[in-house]
C-alpha cells in the first residue's frame, strides 16, 4: 500500500493497537560518520539546489512554484498562496539551516520544479524535550507528479537533517499517511459572507437570504476587552512566560524561548498579527491571541482572484474569557479586511468555535512525527502545536 512509508521509521498501521511498543524514538541515532555524505540520486535531467531564501530572486522563484503547484482543496477551487514575505519569515527562524531549504531544478532550463523545507524546533512530547525538524512546503510541479520524486525529496531532507545530528521531525498533511498522531478538523468563520458565497467558498444556508446571512456574521466596529492592544517588542519576555506556561497542559507542544517568540509572534505586516491584554490596573500581560496570513488563489473565477484568510495561531487566556478574546481577534481580522478566519480544533479552540459561528470545513489536517512513536492517537485538544 505505502511502498515508501513502509520503509521509514514512522508508526505503521499494523502496529496501531500494539501497546507493547514503547513511546519514544523508533530507531536510535546512527554515528554521524555513517550518514550518507552525497545527495540522493535524482533522475538525470534534474539537479539539487540549496535555496538562498535571503535573496528576493530565490523567494520569487519559490513563490512562483508554490503559487502554481502547492496545496488545493478537494474540489480544486482554491490553492494556498503563501506570500514571499511569509516564506522569508517561515523559513528563517532562530538557528535555521540554509541546507534544509531544498530545491530541484531542470538542468537545462534551470527551472525550479520541486521544493521541500525543514526548520529546527524543540518540541515537548509529554515530559521529553526533543530537537526536531518541522518539514513543510513539499511541492512537486504538476507536470512531474506520480514519478516517485516525493520520496527522494523526503530522503534528501532527512539526510540533511541527520547531518545536523537531529533525528526526529514533525509535519502535517491533508492526506492520510502512516500514521497520524492526531487528526484535526478545519473550521471557518465568515467575515465577508457575500464574497465567500460568490466564489463558492461557502453556500447560503437553508432558509437564509443574503441580507440575513450578512447580518448573522456582523461584528462590532472595535474590540471590547479593556487593555487589548497589538503586541510590541518589549512584550516578548511577558508573552514568552505566558505562552510557555499555557503550553504545558498539552501533550505535544513547542518549547519556545524568547528568541522564538520574537521571531514567530512579534507582529509582521501581512504575515503574523498578535494582540495581548495588558491589565489597565496592574499592567500585567494576562491574555494573548494571534493569527497568520495565508491567502488562497481563487481558481478560475471571473471577478475575484484572492481569498484573504487569517489562520488562528497561538492563543492564551488567563483572565479574559477565551470566547471574548477570540471575538476580539475576529473583530481585528474583519477590520484588516480578511474574508475568513480559519481555525483547527487544537488546544482549547473547541470551546469557542460553535459560539463564535465557525462552521466545519471539508478539510482535515493530519499531524505526524518522524522517528518518534506515540502510544495512543491524540485528541486534537491534546495538541499544542500549529504548523504554518
Ligand atoms: S504537506 C503538503 C504537501 N504538498 C502538497 O500537497 C502540494 C501539492 N502536491 C504535490 O506537490 C505532490 O502531490 C506531492 C507528492 C509532492 C505532495 N507528505 O512523488 P510521488 C507520498 C508525505 O509519486 P506526487 C507537507 O509539506 C505518497 O504516500 N508523503 O507523488 C509536509 C507516496 O508514498 P507511499 C506524501 O504526488 C510534508 C509517495 O509520496 C505526501 O508526485 C512532509 C508518492 O510520491 C505528503 N504530503 O508528490 C513530508 N503526499 O507509496 C514528510 C504524497 O509510501 C517528512 N506522499 O504511499 C518526513 C520527515 C523528514 C525529516 C526527518 C528528519 C529526521
Ligand atoms: O478551505 C477549506 N474548505 C472550504 C472551501 C471548500 C470549497 C469546496 N471544496 C470550506 N468552506 C466551507 C466554509 C463554511 C463557512 C460558513 C460556515 C460553514 C463552513 O470548507 C479546506 C479546509 O476546510 N481547505 C482545504 O481543503 C485546503 C487543504 C487542507 C489540507 C492542508 C494541508 C496542509 C499542508 C501542510 O503544511
What would the pLDDT profile of 200-239 be if each residue is shown by its tens digit? Answer: 999 999 999 999 999 999 999 999 999 999 999 999 999 9
Q: Which residues are catalytic?
A: 388
ipTM confidence: 0.99
Q: What angle do CA 217, 193, 386 make, to 5 degrees?
A: 80
How close is the Cα of 151 to the center of ligand 1, in Å?
Answer: 7
Mean residue pLDDT across the chain: 98
Report which bound ligand comes closest to the CA of 186: 2
Q: Say if ligand 2 is within 6 A of residue 361 CB.
A: yes
CA dist 232 and 79 (Å) reads: 32
How close is the Cα of 75 to the center of ligand 2, in Å?
Answer: 10
Contacts of residue 230, defined as CB under 8 A and 6 or more positions apart, other chains included, come to 267, 273, 274, 275
Asked whether the beta carbons of 113 and 149 are under 8 A apart, the reply is no
Per-residue model confidence (pLDDT) at position 2: 98
What would the pLDDT profile of 240-270 be if each residue is shown by its tens digit? Answer: 999 999 999 999 999 999 999 999 999 999 9
Q: Which residues of 238-277 are buried (b: 16+ CB within 10 A; e: fewer)?
A: bbbebbbebbeebbbbbebeeebbbbbbbebeebbbbbbb
Report which bound ligand comes closest to the CA of 6: 1
The structural domains of the chain, ordered by start, are 5-171 (3.40.630.30), 183-382 (3.40.630.170)
C-alpha cell at 149: 520524486
Q: Say if ligand 2 is within 6 A of residue 362 CB.
A: yes
CA dist 321 and 118 (Å) reads: 36
What would the pLDDT profile of 290-309 be if each residue is shown by its tens digit? Answer: 999 999 999 999 999 999 99
Q: What angle do CA 124, 130, 134 make, to 5 degrees?
A: 90
How close is the Cα of 165 to the center of ligand 2, in Å?
Answer: 37
CB count in 10 Å sphere of residue 192: 19
User: Average pLDDT in the 280-289 region?
Assistant: 98
Per-residue model confidence (pLDDT) at position 200: 98
Per-residue model confidence (pLDDT) at position 365: 98
* Nearest ligand 2 atom to alpha carbon 200: 7
Q: What angle do CA 34, 26, 29 make, to 5 degrees?
A: 25
How close is the Cα of 375 to the center of ligand 1, in Å?
Answer: 24
Asked whether the beta carbons of 160 and 356 are under 8 A apart, the reply is no
C-alpha cell at 38: 552525497
How close is the Cα of 186 to the center of ligand 2, in Å?
Answer: 7
Confidence band (pLDDT; 50, 70, 90) for 6?
very high
Asked whether the beta carbons of 279 and 227 are under 8 A apart, the reply is yes
Q: Say if ligand 2 is within 6 A of residue 192 CB.
A: no
CB count in 10 Å sphere of residue 18: 11
Q: Say if ligand 1 is within 6 A of residue 132 CB.
A: no
Q: Say if ligand 2 is within 6 A of residue 136 CB.
A: yes
Per-residue model confidence (pLDDT) at position 333: 98
* Nearest ligand 1 atom to alpha carbon 70: 7
Per-residue model confidence (pLDDT) at position 290: 99
CA dist 63 and 326 (Å) reads: 31
Q: Say if ligand 2 is within 6 A of residue 93 CB.
A: no
Report which bound ligand comes closest to the CA of 170: 1
First vs last C-alpha separation in the chain: 29
Q: Say if ligand 2 is within 6 A of residue 190 CB.
A: yes
Q: Say if ligand 1 is within 6 A of residue 77 CB.
A: no
Which of 80, 118, 362 has most ligand 2 atoms within 8 Å of CB, for mutation?
362
CA dist 388 and 172 (Å) reads: 9
User: Average pLDDT in the 295-324 region?
Assistant: 98
How close is the Cα of 308 to the center of ligand 1, in Å?
Answer: 26
> In terms of DSSP bridges, do strands 340-344 and 309-312 run parallel, antiparallel, or are they unpaired?
parallel
Amino acid at each position: 500500500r505505502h511502498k515508501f512509508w513502509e520503509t521509514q521509521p514512522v508508526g505503521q498501521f499494523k502496529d496501531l493497537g500494539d501497546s507493547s511498543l514503547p513511546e519514544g524514538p523508533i530507531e536510535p541515532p546512527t554515528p554521524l560518520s555513517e550518514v550518507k555524505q552525497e545527495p540522493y540520486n535524482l533522475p538525470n535531467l534534474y539537479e539539487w539546489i540549496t535555496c538562498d531564501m535571503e535573496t528576493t530572486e530565490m523567494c520569487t522563484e519559490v513563490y512562483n512554484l508554490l503559487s502554481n503547484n502547492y496545496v488545493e482543496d478537494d474540489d480544486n477551487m482554491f490553492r494556498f498562496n503563501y506570500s514571499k514575505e511569509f516564506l522569508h519569515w517561515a523559513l528563517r527562524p532562530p538557528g535555521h539551516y540554509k541546507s534544509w531549504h531544498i530545491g530541484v531544478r531542470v538542468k537545462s532550463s534551470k527551472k525550479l520544479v520541486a521544493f521541500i523545507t525543514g526548520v529546527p524546533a524543540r518540541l515537548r512530547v509529554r515530559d521529553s524535550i526533543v530537537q526536531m525538524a518541522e518539514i513543510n512546503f513539499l511541492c512537486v510541479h504538476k507536470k512531474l507528479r506520480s514519478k516517485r520524486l516525493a520520496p527522494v525529496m523526503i530522503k534528501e531532507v532527512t539526510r540533511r537533517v541527520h547531518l545536523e545530528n537531529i533525528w526526529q521531525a514533525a509535519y502535517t498533511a491533508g492526506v492520510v499517511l502512516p500514521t497520524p498522531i492526531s487528526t484535526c478538523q478545519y473550521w471557518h468563520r465568515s467575515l465577508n459572507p457575500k464574497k465567500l458565497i460568490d466564489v463558492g467558498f461557502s453556500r447560503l444556508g437553508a432558509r437564509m437570504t443574503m441580507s440575513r446571512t450578512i447580518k448573522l456574521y456582523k461584528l462590532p466596529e472595535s474590540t471590547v476587552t479593556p487593555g487589548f492592544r497589538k503586541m510590541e517588542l518589549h512584550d516578548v519576555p511577558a508573552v514568552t512566560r505566558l505562552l510557555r506556561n499555557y503550553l504545558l497542559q498539552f501533550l505535544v507542544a513547542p518549547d519556545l524561548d524568547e528568541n522564538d517568540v520574537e521571531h514567530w509572534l512579534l507582529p509582521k505586516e501581512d504575515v503574523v498579527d498578535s494582540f495581548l491584554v495588558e491589565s489597565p490596573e496592574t499592567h500585567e500581560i494576562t491574555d494573548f491571541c494571534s493569527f497568520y496570513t495565508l491567502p488562497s488563489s481563487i481558481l478560475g473565477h471571473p471577478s475575484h482572484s484572492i481569498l484573504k484568510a487569517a489562520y488562528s495561531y497561538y492563543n492564551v487566556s488567563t483572565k479574559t474569557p477565551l470566547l471574548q478574546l477570540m471575538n476580539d481577534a475576529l473583530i481585528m481580522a474583519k477590520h484588516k479586511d480578511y474574508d475568513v478566519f480559519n481555525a483547527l480544533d487544537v488546544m482549547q479552540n473547541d470551546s469557542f468555535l460553535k459560539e463564535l459561528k465557525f462552521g466545519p470545513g471539508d478539510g482535515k489536517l493530519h499531524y505526524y512525527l518522524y522517528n518518534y512513536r506515540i502510544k495512543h492517537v491524540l485528541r486534537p485538544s491534546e495538541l499544542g502545536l500549529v504548523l504554518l
